[in-house]
Structure 1
Amino acid sequence: MSQPCLNAATCFPDATVPLGYRCGCQTGYTGSTCQNDERICKDNTCWNNGTCIEVNSTTVDNNGTTFYCNCSESFTGVHCELKVNLCVNITCQNHGICRTVNMSWSCICLTPSLYYGNYCEIQTSALKVKQALSKSFASVAIVALVLTCSFVIIMDVLKYVFKIDPVKAERLRQLRAKKAAKSKPKPKPKAPNVAIRFQYIA
C-alpha cells in the first residue's frame, strides 16, 4: 500500500509499531490510519452549500464543541435544511397566491383576466367595463321600480284622497262603445234564393 493513511494524513516510517509506520492525522481525525472523522464540521453538517463554523455557543455536540451553519440566502435552519419563505409577510389580494422563486416572491393572480399587479391589486379594463355595466343596469332597474311605485301611489292618492279617477273617462268611453255595439239592430237574414223551373207538357 503506497499510502495507508487516510484523510490527508501524513505517513511516517516507524519500526517500533507492528505496522512499521504511523499516521500523523489532520485535526479532527483519529485512528491508526486516521479513519475516524471526529470533526464537528463535517462535509454533511451544513446542507445546501452552507458553511460550517465552529463557535463557542450555539448548538452543542456530544463532545461539547459547538458549530454554526452559515447558510446561503435561500436556506435557513440549524443545518440549512429549511428553504427561506419570503411570502411570510406578503399578502396577495383578490385570491392571489404568493410563491417564492429564486429568492424573490411573486403573487400569482388566479384570475389574470380580472386582476394583475405585484399584489393582484389592479383591476383589468374588462373588469372595470363589467362593473360599470352592472352599475348601469342596476341604476336603470332601480329607476324603473321607483317610477312604477310612484305611479301606483299617485293613482291611489288621486282616487282615494282627492276622489279623482284619472281612468274614469276611459272606462266610460269603453262602456258607451260596448252599449252602442249592443244597441245596433242585427241585420235580417236574407231569404234563400228560389229557382223556378218551367216544365213543358207535350
Structure 2
Amino acid sequence: SIFLYILFESLSKGFKPIPCIDSTMIGTYCDIPNSLCAMIEPCQNNGSCVDDQTQTLGYYRLCSPDFNGANCEFDYRPCKPLSCLNHGTCNQTSNSTFNCACNDGWQGKNCQSMINFCDNITCKNNGVCRPLLLNYTCECLINNYYGRHCEGVSMKIVIYRVVSTSFAYLGILAIVCIAMFVIIMDILKYCFGIGPTREDLESIRRKKTREKTKISCNATID
C-alpha cells in the first residue's frame, strides 16, 4: 500500500532528530539535560557537581563541610545520624567529639542501653523481674501467685497451707499428749506406787501362789 511504501522510505533514510533550540537540552522532545552532572547526580550529602570536560570523570565536586570523597560520600561529622540511638540528641563538643542527651529510660555513650528498673526490686514467691522502658514487671512463674510483686496468693494455696498447718499442729498435739501421759504414769508409779497394771500383777501373783499350794497338797496326800 502507499502508506507502507512511505513508511519504508522514511526508515530507509534514517532517523534524524530535530536539533533542540536550547543547547543545554537533548533528546527527542528536548527534555533531557545535556549535562553529565544532571544525568547521573553523583554527589552525595548535599554536595555540588560541576561539569568540567577537562576532568577525568567529566566533572568535579564541591562537598559540604565535614564531607569528603570522590562523590562526597565520606561523613567526618562528629554527630552522625546514628551517633545517638533511641531518639537521643547529639551535641558536638569539638571538631571530633560529641556527647548524647538520652531520652528518659536510656543510658550509655550512644543511648544504646535501656535503664534496668529491676535493680533493688524483689519479686516474691520465686517471681522473675523483667525490665521495661521506664518500668518493670514481675513475672510470676506459678499461676497460683499474682500481683505487682507476685505477693498475691490464690485460694488454692491458702487452703493447702491451712490444711498442712492443721495436720502439723495435730501431730505436735498428739506427741505432747503421749509425752504427758508417759510422764503422769511414771509419777503415779514411782511417787505414789500406783500403776495401771498393779492390780493385774497382784492377781497373777495370787493365782500362782494358789497353784503352788494346790500342787503341794496333792503331793502330801499321795
Shared fold (TM-score greater than 0.5)?
yes
In structure 1, the residue matched to 2:215 is none
Q: TM-score scaled by structure 2? A: 0.63
Q: 1:11 aligns with which of 37, 49, 52?
A: 49
2:129 is the alignment partner of 1:93: no
2:66 is the alignment partner of 1:24: no
**Identity rate of aligned residues, in percent?**
36
Q: Alpha carbons of 1:166 and 1:33: their partners in 2 closer, same or farther (altered >3 Å)?
A: closer
- The Cα of 1:21 is off from its aligned counterpart by 4.7
Mapping of residues 12-91 of structure 1, within 5 Å: 12-13=50-51, 18=55, 21-31=59-69, 33-47=71-85, 49-56=86-93, 64-73=95-104, 75-91=106-122
For the Cα contact (< 8 Å) 1:109–1:120, is it kept in 2?
yes
Distance 1:52 1:145 in 2: 73
2:156 is the alignment partner of 1:129: no
Task: Give the secondary-structure state (helix, strand or coil) at the position aligned to 2:143.
Answer: coil
In structure 2, the residue matched to 1:186 is none
RMSD: 3.2
Give unmatched runs, 5+ long, in structure 2. 1-35, 211-222
In structure 2, the residue matched to 1:192 is none
Distance 2:70 2:185 in 1: 114
- The Cα of 1:103 is off from its aligned counterpart by 4.7
The count of corresponding residues between Structure 1 and Structure 2 is 174
Deviations 1:51-84 (A, max 9, x none): 452332xxx7xxx432223444454211222233
- The Cα of 1:146 is off from its aligned counterpart by 1.6
Q: 1:149 aligns with which of 175, 179, 182?
A: 179
Q: TM-score scaled by structure 1? A: 0.68
In structure 2, the residue matched to 1:160 is 190
For the Cα contact (< 8 Å) 1:50–1:69, is it kept in 2?
no
Q: Alpha carbons of 1:82 and 1:102: their partners in 2 closer, same or farther (altered >3 Å)?
A: closer
Distance 2:73 2:170 in 1: 88
Give unmatched runs, 5+ long, in structure 1. 181-202
In structure 2, the residue matched to 1:118 is 148
More helix by share: 2
Tell me the amino acid that sits aligned with residue 165 of structure 2: K
2:144 is the alignment partner of 1:106: no
Tell me the amino acid that sits aligned with residue 83 of structure 1: M
Select between 37-46 and 71-80 the one with higher mean Cα deviation: 71-80
- Work out which structure has the larger RCO, using CA pairs closer than 8 Å and 6 or more positions apart in sequence: 1
Distance 1:174 1:127 in 2: 58
Tell me the amino acid that sits aligned with residue 165 of structure 1: G
Tell me the amino acid that sits aligned with residue 96 of structure 1: G
- The Cα of 1:171 is off from its aligned counterpart by 4.1
